[in-house]
């Protein structure tokens, strides 16, 4: 009976470890949706603000949803590749302040060029 119980416990631990390994593999893969969800749920990742200069959408999907894939730049000059959507087409060559958690975009708002830190502006120009 003890041997059976040990076997079941071992199997449960093995399955949990395999699931954790799969989560790590998929969260670091190239798929930005999976990475974004992983970053959103990660309690150790802090929300930050970053900036971007707008461009034309990469795709226009069903119901006129526009998809943008861009590198955003935080106040330290660090780039992060993100993907975000908008129901309205963004004006090109304008500036956005993006609230994000890793690659997950929480929200964005248009800001004036004068509101962007000089260090960031040098990178995104």
Q: Which domains does the chain have, with CATH numbers?
A: 45-124 (2.40.50.480)
> How confident is the model over 2-36, as pLDDT tens digits?
788 888 989 999 999 887 777 766 655 555 677 77
Structure tokens at 113: 């060029």
SS3 category, 5: helix
pTM: 0.72
Q: CB under 8 Å to 44, separation ≥6 — which residues?
A: none
Task: Please state, as a whole number, how many other Cβ atoms lie within 10 Å of the Cβ of residue 71.
Answer: 12
What is the band of 43 on the pLDDT scale with cuts at 50, 70, 90? confident
> How confident is the model over 65-115, as pLDDT tens digits?
999 999 999 999 999 999 999 999 899 999 999 999 988 899 999 999 999
CA–CA distance, 26 with 38 (Å, rounded to integer): 9
């Amino acid at each position: 009976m003890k041997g059976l119980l040990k076997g079941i416990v071992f199997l449960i631990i093995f399955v949990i470890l395999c699931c954790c390994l799969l989560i790590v593999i998929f969260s670091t893969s190239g798929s930005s949706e999976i990475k974004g969800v992983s970053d959103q749920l990660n309690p150790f990742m802090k929300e930050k603000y970053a900036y971007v200069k707008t461009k034309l959408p990469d795709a226009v999907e069903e119901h006129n949803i526009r998809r943008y894939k861009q590198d955003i730049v935080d106040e330290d000059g660090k780039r992060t590749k993100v993907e975000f959507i908008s129901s309205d087409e963004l004006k090109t060559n304008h500036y956005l302040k993006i609230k994000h958690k890793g690659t997950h975009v929480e929200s964005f708002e248009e800001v004036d060029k004068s509101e962007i830190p000089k260090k960031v502006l040098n990178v995104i120009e």
